[in-house]
A and B are shown apart, each in its own frame.
Chain A
Amino acid sequence: MNIIVCAKQVPDTTEIKIDPVKGTLIRDGVPSIMNPDDKGGLELALRLKEQHGATVTVVSMGPPQADLILREALAMGADRAILLSDRRFAGADTLATSYALAGCIKTLDYDIIIAGRQAIDGDTAQVAPEMAEHLDLPQVSYVIDAEKKGDKIIVKKENEDSVQTLEVDGKCVLTVLASAFKPRYMTVEGIIEAYATKEVEVWTADKIDVDETKLGLKGSPTKVFKSFPKALKEPGEVHEVSEEEAVELIVARLKEKHII
């Protein structure tokens, strides 16, 4: 079985700062990490590899420094890593990004494509579903469990108020939630091999199956007018109390505020 995992390097911050003039994310001084949902996707791929045997290939599109998350993926147990890095990819919105990723994947052998639900920087959750459309594949999003039974994949998908179990035949795209797949640590040996014996293949636009006019800024219909940080609400209080105590607590608070 060949599994492809899509992963993105993102700034490690919950308090994203936005350049007030350009409306883009300020990345300087913010450490970069593998996007948590994508790391969950890699964990699922590695579990499937352990259970059924598989070759896990991780694909990322980004600047040369995205090499770091691919080394991390190799150190966790991925077999192969490809970085799509080329100025022609720059400025891509989700459509151009998904198009480039699909163009890369078309050139590879695969059975399942796994991606994270969404990235913590852009939060669109669009890239993987769009990629499935470019590749004309079925997709299941918000996956919290997946197992392989024969040629089929049994997938649990989380909805707002329910969980669906679906069966997928043949090739497909899954998007997973980080919370469902606690990622493993890199091993010491894996870390050493990630630099000593393994490599990150850097691919340019020439190496993938795409129409160049649909790449990067040129291929991006989305234009960002303005980005601004949202005022965060204060976190709520959590009280672990019995129902009776909870009623008393709420009533007391409402009285305190002269609501009742």
Chain B
Amino acid sequence: MDFSYSKTEQLFLQMIRSFAENEVKPLAAEVDEKEMFPEETVRKMGKLGLMGIPVPKQYGGAGGTVQMYIMAVEELSRVCATTGVVLSAHTSLCMSPILEHGTEEQKMKYLPKLASGEWLGAFGLTEPNAGTDAAMQQTTAVDAGDKWILNGTKIFITNAANADVFIVMAMTDKSKGVKGISSFIVERSFKGFSVGKKELKMGIRGSATCELIFENCEVPKENLLGNLGDGFKVAMKTLDGGRIGIASQALGIAQGAMDETVKYTKERKQFGRAIAQFQNTQFQMADLKTRVEAARLLVRSAAWKKDMGLPYSVDAAMAKLYAAETAMEVTTKAVQFHGGYGYTREYPVERMMRDAKITEIYEGTSEVQRMVIAGQLFKK
């Protein structure tokens, strides 16, 4: 078993770390404070091929691996969780379902623009009455001969304010329940589509989370993604992949908080010595470091299985559950180590703690991850 990074991955890590340090980190506080979408950063990422890492070259991507993609999410989130989730939602929730379920025409039409960063992607499943119980879809899609007519509202949609393409779930046949849900590729410019209210959030404040509103929205026939009635399957499979992305985001936040805390505790002096010299600090930090490394192995293992074409649904759930709870624990303790300063916006750990919380909630709450893991464990 080889746990080391390949030569390609090592070179990639060198590049993404330098990009994160020099281009992303300097903006992180402002992105949070002003709820500023990092548009310029996304443009730069597009130029470097970061917006289409795991997309094959024939569709305009970089032809990389899932492993490289999640390394990018981790390294970006280490300095700015907003930038990390922009990439994660775009890649896992929009490009992946097109790549995995799209027709050749759909791939040729959408992937090159998404992979180059010219277009940004998003995903719409959640509704006011369909959160964890995602099968309770009330958005409808009616066959109107040459097009589909969509009606309904989606909420809490990551990237919504800036996205050009949305993967949207809607009920095409209510009588069939879960099997009556289908998925569609919706462009921002489609008639009857609009982006609604923007949420005011605790963390990842630079990522604009909004409602999607469909009022007799006209979607061309050929924009049905996957087979009719396969929408729920498409959504669940998409979220399996998305969870590896969010697990990496959580891992990045945790790592970022570790970095800041090591630096701070070495500098901060109380009772005549650096607080890093106290055994309480050392033991707690040792435990946190161990958790972060364990989370990293779970995340890399899930990504490896996805790259190998092996089943990874439970692995992704475990990675996300563990990494998200690790991020919450590490950032909370990081604030504690920083004392009063940690509670102020002078230090980035305050932001990191706010950013960490969402990783326990979106793309399946920690409770949903436990359901997935237990479901496999007690399968008949």
Contact = CB atoms under 8 A, between A and B. Distances in A.
Given A189-B63, A194-B11, 19 more contacts: A72-B11, A75-B11, A75-B15, A185-B48, A186-B15, A187-B47, A188-B12, A188-B15, A188-B48, A188-B49, A188-B62, A188-B64, A189-B49, A189-B62, A190-B49, A191-B11, A192-B62, A194-B8, A195-B8
A212 B11 CA distance: 35
Interface of B: 7-8, 11-12, 14-15, 18-19, 47-50, 53, 57, 62-64, 68
Interface of A: 68, 71-72, 75, 185-192, 194-196
Nearest to B49: A188
Nearest to B72: A188
17 contacts: A71-B11, A75-B11, A186-B11, A186-B48, A187-B48, A187-B49, A188-B49, A188-B50, A188-B68, A189-B57, A189-B62, A189-B63, A191-B8, A192-B8, A194-B8, A195-B8, A195-B11
Contacts of A192: 8, 62-64
Most buried by B among A72, A187, A189: A189
Contacts of B11: 68, 71-72, 75, 186, 191, 194-195
Most buried by B among A72, A188, A189: A188
Contacts, number: 47
Given A185-B19, A188-B68, A189-B57, A72 B63 contact: no
Contacts of B12: 188, 191
Nearest to B10: A68
Contacts of A75: 11, 15
Query: Which 3 residue pairs of A and B lie closest in terms of their CB atoms, listed nearest first?
Result: A188-B49, A188-B62, A186-B15
Given A188-B64, A192-B62, A195-B7, A72 B14 contact: yes
A191 B72 CA distance: 13
Nearest to A33: B14
A195 B53 CA distance: 16
Contacts of B64: 188, 192
Contacts of B14: 72, 186
A16 to B, nearest CB: 21
Nearest to B6: A195
Contacts of A189: 49, 57, 62-63
Most buried by B among A72, A190, A191, A195: A191
Contacts of B53: 188
A220 to B, nearest CB: 32
Nearest to A76: B15
